[in-house]
C-alpha cells in the first residue's frame, strides 16, 4: 500500500484510510483517537460512545446493549456490525476514520476485512493501519478507576495522573466531570476479562496480515502521539 502522505484529498489533508486502535480498556485508545481525528480531519468512530448515546436515547439497540455494558460484557457481533456498517457509509468517512473500540472480536475483524474490499478512500482501496497500544495490568487498573471525562467536550482526565485544575470540573468548558458507570471497580475486572478472551486474539489476527504496529502505551501521551503520527504519515514505514 502506498504511504498516505503521498496522497492528498480535495481538502489538501492526507488520505489516511482506515485506522484501527487496539488495546485494553484504559490503554489510551480514546485519547489518541481523538487527537488523530482532529489532526487529520477524519472522524473518530468510538463504538462505546455510539452505544452510550443509544442507551441515553433509549433506542432499541440501547435497550439491548445497556445490561451487557453494565456487566462489562461485549455486545453481540450482529448488533455491532449493523451499527458500524451504517456509520462507515456516512460521507465524512471518505478520507478515512479512526476506529476506537472496533473491531473487538475476530468475527468483527473478519467482517471489516470483507467490508474494506468494497470500500474506497478518495477513489482507492486501502488496508487498515492497525496500532496496538500496550499497557501493563496494574497501570490499566489505575487508569480506569481514576478516569473522569467531560460530558460536553469529551476531554478525558485522570484523578491520579492528569487531574483537572479544579477538582471535578473540566478545564476547557467548566462542566462537571463524570465517571463512566463501567469504570467502577466491580465492572472493570469483567471488562479486562472480555478483553483478554475476545479482543487479544486480534493482535495475532493482524500480526499475520503484517499490518500491526505495537506501541508502548506507558510512555507520555505526546510521545505516543508523535509515534502514531509518524506511522500514519508513512515516515515509519506504515501502510
Let me know if 104 is a catalytic residue.
yes
Query: CB 174: neighbour CB atoms within 10 A?
Result: 11
Task: For residue 147, indicate whether it is catalytic.
Answer: yes
- List the one residue out of 238, 229, 228, 171 whose CA is nearest residue 23: 228
Q: One symbol per residue from 137 to 176: x for binding ligand AMP (CB under 6 A), - otherwise; what is it?
A: ----------------------------------------
Whether residue 39 lies in the annotated active site: no
Is 193 an active-site residue?
A: no
Tell me, by CB under 6 A, how many residues bind ligand AMP: 17
Query: What would the grid cell of residue 19 be?
Result: 485506522
Biggest alpha carbon distance in the chain? 48
Q: How many CB atoms lie within 10 A of CB 105?
A: 20
Q: Residue 74 interacts with ligand AMP (CB under 6 A)?
A: yes
Q: Which is nearer to ligand AMP, 191 or 213 (CB)?
A: 191
Does the bond joining 103 to the residue before it have cis omega, within 30 degrees of 0? yes
Of residues 73 and 211, the one with the C-beta less far from ligand AMP = 73
Residue ranges of alpha helices (H) inside 125-184 are: 137-146
Q: For residues 23 and 33, is the Cβ–Cβ distance under 8 A?
A: no
Backbone angles phi, psi at 130, to 5 degrees: -115, 120
The answer to the question of residue 68 lying near ligand AMP (CB under 6 A) is: yes
How far CA 98 is from CA of 35, 39, 138, in Å, comes to 10, 11, 27
- Report the site for ligand AMP in 174-203 (rule: CB under 6 A): 182, 191
Residue 131 C-beta: closest distance to ligand AMP, Å: 15
Q: What is the side-by-side strand order in the sheet with 129-134?
A: 44-46, 96-100, 17-22, 129-134, 212-216
Range 75-94, binding ligand AMP (CB under 6 A): 75, 80
Given 101, 164, 217, 238, the residue binding ligand AMP (CB under 6 A): 101
- Please indicate whether residue 191 is annotated as part of the active site: yes
Q: Which of residues 19-58 bind ligand AMP (CB under 6 A)?
A: 25, 47-48, 51
> What is the closest distance, in whole angstroms, from the C-beta atom of residue 233 to ligand AMP in the complex?
26
Positions that interact with ligand AMP (CB under 6 A): 25, 47-48, 51, 68-69, 72-75, 80, 101-102, 104, 108, 182, 191
Amino acid at each position: 500500500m502506498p504511504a498516505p502522505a503521498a496522497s492528498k484529498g480535495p481538502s489538501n489533508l492526507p488520505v489516511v484510510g482506515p485506522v484501527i486502535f487496539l488495546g485494553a480498556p484504559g490503554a489510551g485508545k480514546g485519547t489518541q483517537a481523538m487527537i488523530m481525528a482532529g489532526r487529520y480531519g477524519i472522524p473518530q468512530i468510538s463504538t462505546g460512545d455510539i452505544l452510550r448515546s443509544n442507551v441515553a436515547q433509549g433506542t432499541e439497540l440501547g435497550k439491548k446493549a445497556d445490561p451487557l455494558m453494565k456487566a462489562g460484557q461485549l455486545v453481540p457481533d450482529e448488533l455491532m456490525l449493523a451499527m458500524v456498517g451504517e456509520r462507515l457509509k456516512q460521507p465524512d468517512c471518505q478520507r478515512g476514520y479512526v476506529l476506537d473500540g472496533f473491531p473487538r472480536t475476530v468475527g468483527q475483524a473478519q467482517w471489516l476485512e470483507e467490508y474494506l474490499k468494497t470500500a474506497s478512500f478518495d477513489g482507492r482501496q486501502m488496508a487498515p493501519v492497525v496500532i496496538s497500544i500496550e499497557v501493563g495490568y496494574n497501570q490499566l487498573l489505575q487508569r480506569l478507576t481514576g478516569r473522569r471525562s467531560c460530558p460536553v467536550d469529551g476531554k478525558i482526565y485522570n484523578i491520579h495522573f492528569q487531574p483537572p485544575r479544579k477538582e471535578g470540573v473540566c478545564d476547557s468548558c467548566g462542566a462537571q466531570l463524570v465517571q463512566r458507570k463501567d469504570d467502577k471497580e466491580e465492572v472493570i475486572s469483567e471488562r479486562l476479562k472480555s478483553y483478554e478472551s475476545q479482543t487479544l486474539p486480534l493482535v495475532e489476527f493482524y500480526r499475520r496480515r503484517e499490518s500491526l504496529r505495537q506501541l508502548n502505551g506507558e510512555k507520555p501521551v505526546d510521545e505516543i502521539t508523535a509515534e502514531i503520527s509518524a506511522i500514519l504519515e508513512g515516515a515509519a514505514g506504515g501502510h
